[in-house]
Chain A
Amino acid sequence: MPQNSVFVNAFESVCCAGESSEALFEAICTQKSGIKTFSEFIQNKQIALGKIEKSFSIEALLELTCKKVLAQSTLENFESTLLIVGSSVGGMQTTEGIFLRDHHYKNIDPKLHAIDAIAHILSQHFTFSDDISFSTACTSSANALGYGYEMIAKGVYENVLVVGFDTLSLTTIRGFDALGVLSSHPCQPFDVSRDGMNVAEGIAVLLLQNKPSKGCIELLGVGYSSDAHHMAHPSPDGSGALCAMQKALNCAHVQPSEVGYINAHGTGTIANDASEASAIEALFGSDVPVSSTKSITGHTLGAAGALEAIICVMALQKQILPPNTNLFEPENKTLSFTHVAKTDPFRYALSNSLAFGGNNTALLFGRPQ
């Protein structure tokens, strides 16, 4: 089976920390978090969320972000492009608005409710060759990227547009609150004092192609695994995450010691960060700089995989290691955490996404030879 190379040739994102990917990377490097506190989402409670500052319509944000990526590329249109969406809530924000107003379902359009709503909306503005949507909670768009990688590597498509997208919704905000994992301030991934995550919203769009453009970064591999442990808690030893990371490295025959940066899932919850730190330590020891960027962006749920892929791509392009923020005393004493943005030559970056149900996905990126 021939194995084509896969290149990230264009990308764009919008989240609470930046209206563009450049703005986002700047915010990460200057440690300016986009997370703010709100009291209108849960009665009598202040929580910290990553809300996109400018109010937006889902349709306009999707169309504009994809248009920007198209403009960056050499494509005239998306007619020979496969659309792959990764989303955890799909059109839930729209559904909530209608249901909480009407208290019945009659005005809910099923096509605008479920995960497929994203592809459905985009198909009104662009013609794609085909579309497919993944929904695996917090690994949704990481899995979308993995599928795009495979479609190009196996020679099925030359162009794939991956869209990771999740809006804030009362369901996810109150749901994570019900689990007791929300923080009332910007999260502190990997810190001994961490007390929870920040739900956030975002869109991240990447164009993958089988031929490189100038300055592009290569998507070298993907690794998948399942914890088989618990719906809402990762296996404490991080064995599932370790397996996914190892498989991603195996795809590209890269050794752990060659990896120059790990963008961790690092949500700021007690359970995730302990488990993930164990996994990273077991595979990489103290050799590889690690950071979580969720203290800047919040946890964009289904969009996280794609958003953090963009962060890894930019880190590799600029040869800058993104720092942790709000990390004062790491709980894990072995891992090598970055505390300030640092220019450093490195070839490979690994991005982790870990989800409900024990779904784990790791993506490996690298500077082309």
Chain B
Amino acid sequence: MVQMQTLKEILIKNLKLEDMTPEDIDDTMPLFGENGLGLDSVDSIELVLTVDKEFGVKISDSKAYETIFANVQSLLDFINAPK
């Protein structure tokens, strides 16, 4: 089971979120859009690559991005879900 802290650290490293700590990312904060973390469509592709490389989980359906990447909690739930 991947821990929330680990996921946040990996996001910060792979998306180059300079000067951010895991404490700065709220579990339910939207990842995309200006009212949240502010990731964009290129980041969504980077996220798919990161989730595959770091956790061995593939996301093949781009239509599912909105649900899976809604916030860190939904992403963690997806990664930890039984396959």
Contact = CB atoms under 8 A, between A and B. Distances in A.
A178 B47 CA distance: 12
A331 B41 CA distance: 22
Contacts of B40: 230
B45 interface: yes
Contacts of A232: 42
Interface in B7-57: 40-42, 45
In the complex, which of the residues A179, A180, A230 has the most CB atoms of chain B within 10 Å of its own CB atom?
A180
Contacts, number: 9
Interface in A202-248: 230-233
A221 B42 CA distance: 35
Nearest to A233: B41
A231 B45 CA distance: 15
Interface string B47-83: 0000000000000001000000000000000000000
A3 B45 CA distance: 49
A49 B18 CA distance: 38
In the complex, which of the residues B40, B41, B45, B62 has the most CB atoms of chain A within 10 Å of its own CB atom?
B41
A358 to B, nearest CB: 14
A231 B41 CA distance: 12
Contacts of A231: 42
Contact of A178 (B41, B45, B62): B45
Contacts of B62: 180
A227 to B, nearest CB: 15
A228 to B, nearest CB: 16
B39 to A, nearest CB: 13
In the complex, which of the residues B40, B42, B45 has the most CB atoms of chain A within 10 Å of its own CB atom?
B42
Contacts of A233: 41
A43 B54 CA distance: 20
Nearest to A178: B45
Interface string A155-180: 00000000000000000000000111
A71 B45 CA distance: 49
Nearest to B44: A180
Contacts of A180: 45, 62
A148 to B, nearest CB: 34
B30 to A, nearest CB: 19
Nearest to A271: B41
A291 B40 CA distance: 31
A17 B41 CA distance: 33
A262 B9 CA distance: 50
A230 B41 CA distance: 11
A232 B42 CA distance: 8
Nearest to B42: A232
Contacts of B41: 233
B34 to A, nearest CB: 14
B40 to A, nearest CB: 8
A180 B40 CA distance: 14
Contacts of A179: 42, 45
Interface string A286-319: 0000000000000000000000000000000000
B70 to A, nearest CB: 20
A233 B45 CA distance: 14
9 contacts: A178-B45, A179-B42, A179-B45, A180-B45, A180-B62, A230-B40, A231-B42, A232-B42, A233-B41
Q: Which 8 A-B pairs have the closest CB atoms?
A: A180-B45, A232-B42, A178-B45, A179-B45, A233-B41, A179-B42, A180-B62, A230-B40
Given A231-B42, A233-B41, 5 more contacts: A178-B45, A179-B42, A179-B45, A180-B62, A232-B42
